[in-house]
């Protein structure tokens, strides 16, 4: 189970000193990430235009933990490898 900051309600604040958003508890299973209180799937938030369901949380240098789908995770790893900031992923 993980906590993720969502930008909808300010009733409970995030632990981050720069964030004033609510914290929701997440759980994951083979189908992806879900919000514990509502059992609703969590959307990928890595890239703004992505509409896929998140499958995991990914570390972000500013936002800490962000829901991410497999497609966006692969894209980010490839972009970082091209920029020389991460491991190169070999695809065939």
The per-residue pLDDT for range 9-25, each reduced to its tens digit, is 444 555 555 555 556 78
Q: What CA–CA distance (Å, rounded) separates 78 from 76?
A: 5
pTM of the model: 0.63
Q: Contact 86/73 with Cβ under 8 angstroms?
A: no
Q: What CA–CA distance (Å, rounded) separates 4 from 91?
A: 31
Question: Each residue of 41-64: pLDDT tens digit?
Answer: 888 989 989 999 999 999 887 777
Q: Contact 4/57 with Cβ under 8 angstroms?
A: yes
Cα-Cα end-to-end distance for the chain: 34
* Domain spans in the chain, listed from the N-terminal domain onward: 2-82
Q: Which residue has the higher pLDDT, 10 or 71?
A: 71
Helix %, strand %, coil % of the chain (to 5): 15, 35, 55
Q: Looking at 32-41, 56-65, 80-89, which range is the least confident one?
A: 80-89
């Amino acid at each position: 189970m993980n906590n993720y900051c969502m930008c909808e309600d300010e009733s409970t604040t995030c632990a981050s000193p720069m964030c004033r958003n609510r914290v929701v508890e997440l759980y994951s299973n083979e189908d992806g990430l879900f919000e514990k209180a509502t059992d609703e799937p969590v959307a990928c938030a890595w890239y703004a235009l992505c509409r896929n369901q998140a499958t995991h949380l990914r570390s972000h240098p500013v936002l800490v933990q962000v829901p991410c789908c497999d497609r966006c995770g692969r894209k980010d790893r490839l972009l970082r490898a091209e920029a020389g900031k991460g491991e190169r992923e070999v695809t065939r």
